[in-house]
Amino acid sequence: VGTAATEVTVGAELGALRDYVDGLEALKATAHLLGWDEKTKMPHKAAAGRARQKGLLAGMYHQRFTSPETLRLIEGVENVDPDNVEARLVRRDYEIATKLPEEHVVEFTQAASLANHAWESAREQDDFTIFEPHLSKVLELSRRSAQYFGYETEPYDALHDQFEEGSRAAELEPLFEQLRSPINALIDRQPEPDTSALERTYPIADQVAYCERIADAIGYDLQAGRIDETVHPFCTNIGPYDVRLTTRYQEDWLPAALFSVIHEAGHGIYEQAFDRLELPAVTGQAPGLGMHESQSRMYENTIGRSRAFWEYHYGELQRTFPGALGSVDLDGFVRQINTAQRSFIRVEADELTYNLHIAVRFELERAMVNGDLEAKDLPGAWNDTFEKWLGMRPPSDREGCLQDVHWTGLFGYFPTYTLGNVYAAQFVEECERAIGPFEDHLRRGEIAPIREWFDEHVYRHGRTLTGKEFVQRITGGPVDAGPLIRSLEQKFG
Amino acid sequence: VGTAATEVTVGAELGALRDYVDGLEALKATAHLLGWDEKTKMPHKAAAGRARQKGLLAGMYHQRFTSPETLRLIEGVENVDPDNVEARLVRRDYEIATKLPEEHVVEFTQAASLANHAWESAREQDDFTIFEPHLSKVLELSRRSAQYFGYETEPYDALHDQFEEGSRAAELEPLFEQLRSPINALIDRQPEPDTSALERTYPIADQVAYCERIADAIGYDLQAGRIDETVHPFCTNIGPYDVRLTTRYQEDWLPAALFSVIHEAGHGIYEQAFDRLELPAVTGQAPGLGMHESQSRMYENTIGRSRAFWEYHYGELQRTFPGALGSVDLDGFVRQINTAQRSFIRVEADELTYNLHIAVRFELERAMVNGDLEAKDLPGAWNDTFEKWLGMRPPSDREGCLQDVHWTGLFGYFPTYTLGNVYAAQFVEECERAIGPFEDHLRRGEIAPIREWFDEHVYRHGRTLTGKEFVQRITGGPVDAGPLIRSLEQKFG
């Protein structure tokens, strides 16, 4: 498969397609700037005007992308090179974009927006009845989307495919099943968590400076990015050589900023690689959310929470926060950033229990989309399913089925979190086979050998392979939870 | 003339035109966000990608605006309401936008960009020969633009009209002539400037906080705007309820930030008024640069440098910077922020001498555009003209004809600075006739009566009148330098 720019002979037709996609991507990146600015800098009163700007730009993008010109340029390349990977990718995007009738997109967008507002109230008041009619509507429209997209086995696959091309519910089911007992066995063996040292006073200004240093140290390029403050951390691509991170700072909880910055920097390193390796815009993207998450989770958990990493970095962290960490030794710090226990809220869950939270959601949203579970029955089903996977029942819907925003429109998204963990562990095993144990490098502050391996085996291929194809190509086998279980057993066993 | 939203009966045709222009304005505002972000937040390496994004968006705007759809919507309104002011304004914009052939615009844009780079080198090396061929090219293309736009009396008017509709060189010439001797007489009477107190240490963090307070105090709404740091201060409209200012902070020169914030806040107050008074996008703009500058200069000079203003605010300024200003009394401070003397550089010139710098440029650019002066003869002509207006000769081209960026493409712009000063003085005389002397209000920290007068007589009319028409309507007479001369004589006499 031809991938990086240098491998492809660029004919006039391909050049024309690339220029066209470049323009579309510049438009999409501009929309990302509007979103980034909204969450980081925009004045309070500008919200309504900004919503209009975003809607307008999204409409212009859609109109351009679904125009006959797009098809003409795709066909131009296909006529001279029928197997051209870039034409294939743009054709796939084009077909997806044109599968949903415009009135359905409009209806869906409005229903999702209303559902979002209702969900906020419902969660705040712990009252599922506020959300139920909206969930029901969005679910109905999502089922209709699945029919428009089409599928082979079950409707859920049509939606999940939008987030992780080629991944199927029938494969996810055994994957989650494979994780259930080993993880539960490990959780049972964890000591009572102690994170007292991380709750001391960490002056925000010092956190800001330290987070920039640690992002730089793991390979995030601050000359082609920046870190700002938001309520919910994210990473966004604003254009060529402009990939930005956000985080939130809590004075009395160091992990809030520190690990979200390392996590988002993982996303950022992936996105920055496409510019650094000079991939064309068509291919210079991650193929799906699972692959993207594999990088953020590898940087956060495998690297950022490892003892070896902190062997090199802990001294500077202590010097930055002498009041909080002066009396805490390396082992104590590493223990405190790696605690695990069962809890009700996904976004507060640790590395070990996280995938069980996802299993619950996968099972429920699959049943909903496939028509086996209705909105009104969700609260009961949630509690039963949660108990099945984690062995306890939520005391309220707020700590149960009302906690996540995803079901206001993003059915099929959840499994990508676990796929990210699974991919990451599979890739790390292969990478270590090639360059030796991560800890030997991290202990010396070396990150380059890891990134170079990912440049070669992942980043430079952009989205010319799916997540599943990456795994096959790198490991010679299928997506497999074995390596993830082994790595968790090594850390928490 | 119908102006504010409430005065107009909105028919279906006008509603359609307004929606369409709203969309175009949202696109333009998005381009402004790209520009603001470029100068305040964008990572270093992203410059090339950003240039592409800006070009793309400008192209999309131009394509949309010059499409037959625009004309169809204009004609729709004209058919039911032949004198509709909004249709008239959009038609004028449309006709201007379609007057220049696209290949001319492309050639001009490229020549201006190259001229800009050449000018930077030429100024740095004090070598006019580097800039000369580029100036020659841009001049030739500007003369051609004037032919495309068309004019009644002389080519220069066609270009100047783009920045200040209805203003004519034949009227500007006597205006500048009127200013020459009174201003020179005043300068001759000024004492040797002493600004030593303003050059003490002003911690940047305290300047940032103080500048926000003073912008708020004069009526700039920080809930619908923000202040960031840039090399060159500016004000930009990012969308509804989002008008942002920038400034630069110098630790050892208080006026750099303080007066640029008050100046830019003047622009910002004008722009924010269109949202506050709920004007439609078609009319909710300043009619030209002269009107815009009238507000920034009134806030900066008439208000921000007045003794009465600081009678109210100086106590807090002293408390903010006790080290620098603790021993400086109010009269000393007011004297130091109102010094004047002849100098060579326009951007460093004071309120009194500033208009003489503009007179020099007007005379020279008029001769160039009208074909009476060629690029190669500029340095000599500059020095002669400068001597004629300010009585001294620049020691170098860097301190002479190479100091400004405008002649890399913006012929016809310069006079708007002086028109701003002239308009401001004319408006202030009328405003004082209505509400009493400014100083009586400013002394008590009152700004509302001034803004209310401008709401009524200027802001609410948007761009339904030209600068010249505003003056006629407000004063009952023509544009006249008399009030400006009187105000300068009062301050510097």
DSSP track, B155-190: HHHHHHHHHBTT--HHHHHHHHHHHHHHHHHHHHTP
pLDDT confidence of residue B377 = 98
Measured between alpha carbons, how far is A138 from A170 in angstroms, rounded to an integer? 24
Q: What are phi and psi of A289, to 5 degrees?
A: -70, -30
**What is the DSSP annotation of B431-464?**
HHHHH--HHHHHTTT--HHHHHHHHHHTGGGTTS
Q: What is the mean pLDDT of residues A264-279?
A: 98
What is the band of A15 on the pLDDT scale with cuts at 50, 70, 90?
very high
Tell me the shortest Cα–Cα distance from B239 to chain A, in angstroms. 6
Residue type at A488? L
Instruction: From chain A, pick out residues whose CB is under 8 angstroms from the CB of B29.
Output: 49, 53
Residue type at A392? M
**Cα–Cα distances in Å, from B86 out to A35, A390, B4, B287?**
32, 65, 11, 13
Nearest to A53 among B29, B52, B56 (CB): B29
Contacts of B328 (CB under 8 A, 6+ apart): B197, B318, B336
What is the band of A82 on the pLDDT scale with cuts at 50, 70, 90?
very high
Contacts of A91 (CB under 8 A, 6+ apart): A74, A78
Q: Do A50 and B242 touch (CB under 8 A)?
A: yes
Nearest to A53 among B30, B50, B222 (CB): B30
What are B257-270's pLDDT values in tens digits?
A: 999 999 999 999 99
User: Is some CB atom of chain A closer than 8 A to the CB atom of B213?
Assistant: no
Neighbours of B289 (CB within 10 A): 20
Residue matched to tokens 């300047």: B207
**Vertex B178 angle, CA B174 and B184, to 5°:** 135
Q: Do A37 and B37 touch (CB under 8 A)?
A: yes
Torsion, Cα of A22, A24, A25, A29 (10° steps): 140
Q: Do A224 and B37 touch (CB under 8 A)?
A: no
pLDDT reading at A13 higher than 90: yes
Tell me the shortest Cα–Cα distance from B49 to chain A, in angstroms. 5
The pLDDT mean for chain A works out to 95
Q: Is A247 helix (H, G, I), strand (E, B) or coil?
A: strand
Measured between alpha carbons, how far is B99 from B112 in angstroms, rounded to an integer? 19
User: Is some CB atom of chain B closer than 8 A to the CB atom of A435?
Assistant: no
Measured between alpha carbons, how far is A350 from A360 in angstroms, rounded to an integer? 16
The continuous run of DSSP H or E covering A468 comes out as: helix A467-475
Instruction: From chain A, pick out residues whose CB is under 8 angstroms from the CB of B27.
Output: 56-57, 60
What is the band of B1 on the pLDDT scale with cuts at 50, 70, 90?
very low
What is the band of A270 on the pLDDT scale with cuts at 50, 70, 90?
very high
What are B174-208's pLDDT values in tens digits?
A: 999 999 999 999 999 999 999 999 999 999 999 99
pLDDT reading at A141 higher than 90: yes
B112-129: buried (b, 16+ CB within 10 Å) or exposed (e) per residue?
beebeebbeebbeeeebe
User: Is some CB atom of chain A closer than 8 A to the CB atom of B23?
Assistant: yes
Q: Is B151 helix (H, G, I), strand (E, B) or coil?
A: coil
pLDDT confidence of residue A463 = 97
- Taking the CA atoms of A332, A334, A336 and A341 in sequence, report the sign of the dihedral they define: negative
What are A400-411's pLDDT values in tens digits?
A: 999 999 999 999
What are A156-198's pLDDT values in tens digits?
A: 999 999 999 999 999 999 999 999 999 999 999 999 999 999 9
Q: Do B53 and A22 touch (CB under 8 A)?
A: no
Instruction: From chain A, pick out residues whose CB is under 8 angstroms from the CB of B53.
Output: 26, 29-30, 239
User: Is some CB atom of chain B closer than 8 A to the CB atom of A241?
Assistant: yes
Q: What is the mean pLDDT of residues B330-345?
A: 97
Biggest alpha carbon–alpha carbon distance for chain A: 69
Are the beta carbons of B129 and B379 closer than 8 angstroms? no
Q: What are phi and psi of A445, to 5 degrees?
A: 75, 15
What is the band of B7 on the pLDDT scale with cuts at 50, 70, 90?
very low
Residue type at A227? I
Q: Is B2 helix (H, G, I), strand (E, B) or coil?
A: coil
Nearest to A242 among B27, B43, B242 (CB): B43
Instruction: Please name which of B239, B278, B284, B282 lies closest in space to residue B90, comparing C-alpha atoms.
Output: B282
Instruction: From chain A, pick out residues whose CB is under 8 angstroms from the CB of B274.
Output: none
State yes or no: is B132 an active-site residue: no
What is the chain B residue with the closest CA to A27? B53
The pLDDT mean for chain B works out to 95
Instruction: Please name which of A244, A286, A240 lies closest in space to residue A265, comparing C-alpha atoms.
Output: A244
Q: What is the mean pLDDT of residues A104-129?
A: 92
What is the band of A5 on the pLDDT scale with cuts at 50, 70, 90?
very low
Please identify which of the residues B164, B264, B293, B365 carries the catalytic annotation: B264
Tell me the shortest Cα–Cα distance from B17 to chain A, in angstroms. 16
Instruction: Please name which of A424, A422, A420 lies closest in space to residue A479, comparing C-alpha atoms.
Output: A422
Mutate to test the interface with B, among A19, A24, A221, A241 (most CBs of B within 10 A): A241
User: Is some CB atom of chain A closer than 8 A to the CB atom of B43?
Assistant: yes
pLDDT confidence of residue B477 = 98
Measured between alpha carbons, how far is A230 from A248 in angstroms, rounded to an integer? 6
User: Is some CB atom of chain A closer than 8 A to the CB atom of B46?
Assistant: yes
Which chain A residues in 158-177 lie under 8 Å from chain B, judged by CB atoms?
none
What are B451-468's pLDDT values in tens digits?
A: 999 999 999 999 999 999
Q: Do A41 and B241 touch (CB under 8 A)?
A: no
What is the chain A residue with the closest CA to B33? A34
DSSP state of A242: E
What is the chain A residue with the closest CA to B23? A56
Contacts of B36 (CB under 8 A, 6+ apart): B228, B236, B238, B244, B246
pLDDT confidence of residue A3 = 44
The end-to-end CA distance of chain B, in Å, is: 41
Q: Do A33 and B37 touch (CB under 8 A)?
A: yes
pLDDT confidence of residue A9 = 60
The continuous run of DSSP H or E covering B411 comes out as: none
Measured between alpha carbons, how far is A406 from A147 in angstroms, rounded to an integer? 20
User: Is some CB atom of chain A closer than 8 A to the CB atom of B276?
Assistant: no
User: Is some CB atom of chain A closer than 8 A to the CB atom of B54?
Assistant: no
Q: How many CB pairs under 8 A join A and B?
A: 110
Neighbours of A344 (CB within 10 A): 18
What is the chain A residue with the closest CA to B44? A223
Residue type at B216? D
pLDDT confidence of residue B60 = 85
Measured between alpha carbons, how far is A86 from A88 in angstroms, rounded to an integer? 5
Instruction: From chain A, pick out residues whose CB is under 8 angstroms from the CB of B239.
Output: 46, 49-50, 52-53
User: Is some CB atom of chain A closer than 8 A to the CB atom of B221?
Assistant: yes
What is the chain B residue with the closest CA to A45? B224
pTM of the entire structure? 0.90
What is the band of A67 on the pLDDT scale with cuts at 50, 70, 90?
very high
Selected residue with higher pLDDT from A102 and A339: A339
Tell me the shortest Cα–Cα distance from A398 to chain B, in angstroms. 33
Residue matched to tokens 């008024």: B273
User: Is some CB atom of chain B closer than 8 A to the CB atom of A1?
Assistant: no
Q: Do B224 and A57 touch (CB under 8 A)?
A: no
Contacts of A420 (CB under 8 A, 6+ apart): A289, A290, A291, A292, A293, A294, A295, A296, A297
Instruction: From chain A, pick out residues whose CB is under 8 angstroms from the CB of B241.
Output: 43, 45-46, 48-49
- The structure tokens listed for A486 are 């082994």
Mutate to test the interface with B, among A238, A243, A244, A274 (most CBs of B within 10 A): A238
Are the beta carbons of A16 and A73 closer than 8 angstroms? yes
Instruction: From chain B, pick out residues whose CB is under 8 angstroms from the CB of A224.
Output: 43-46
What are B50-90's pLDDT values in tens digits?
A: 888 888 888 888 889 999 999 999 999 999 999 999 999 99
pLDDT confidence of residue B54 = 86
Q: Is A100 exposed, middle or buried (0-12, 13-18, 19+ CB in 10 A)?
A: middle
What is the band of A2 on the pLDDT scale with cuts at 50, 70, 90?
very low
pLDDT reading at B6 higher than 90: no
Biggest alpha carbon–alpha carbon distance for chain B: 69
Q: Do B45 and A238 touch (CB under 8 A)?
A: no
Residue type at B51? A
What is the chain A residue with the closest CA to B20? A56
- Taking the CA atoms of A213, A218, A223 and A225 in sequence, report the sign of the dihedral they define: negative
Q: Do B44 and A224 touch (CB under 8 A)?
A: yes
Tell me the shortest Cα–Cα distance from A460 to chain B, in angstroms. 20
Are the beta carbons of A274 and A284 closer than 8 angstroms? yes
What are A288-304's pLDDT values in tens digits?
A: 999 999 999 999 999 99
Measured between alpha carbons, how far is A38 from B465 in angstroms, rounded to an integer? 34
Neighbours of B278 (CB within 10 A): 11
Please identify which of the residues A13, A25, A164, A264 carries the catalytic annotation: A264
Helices (H) and strands (E) in chain A, counts: 21, 3
Tell me the shortest Cα–Cα distance from B26 to chain A, in angstroms. 5
Q: What is the mean pLDDT of residues B345-366?
A: 97
* DSSP β-bridge partners for residue B393: none
Instruction: From chain A, pick out residues whose CB is under 8 angstroms from the CB of B26.
Output: 49, 52-53, 56
Measured between alpha carbons, how far is B244 from B224 in angstroms, rounded to an integer? 8
What are A236-250's pLDDT values in tens digits?
A: 999 999 999 999 999
Residue type at A309? F
A272-300: buried (b, 16+ CB within 10 Å) or exposed (e) per residue?
bbbbbbebbbbbbbbbbbbbbbbbbbbbb
What is the band of A49 on the pLDDT scale with cuts at 50, 70, 90?
confident
Q: Do B26 and A45 touch (CB under 8 A)?
A: no
Tell me the shortest Cα–Cα distance from A18 to chain B, in angstroms. 14
Are the beta carbons of A493 and A310 closer than 8 angstroms? no
Are the beta carbons of B173 and B370 closer than 8 angstroms? no
Residue type at A425? A
Q: Do B46 and A22 touch (CB under 8 A)?
A: no
Residues of chain A above pLDDT 90, percent: 89
- The structure tokens listed for B313 are 């605010």
Neighbours of B397 (CB within 10 A): 20
Selected residue with higher pLDDT from A131 and B4: A131
Contacts of B367 (CB under 8 A, 6+ apart): B373, B381
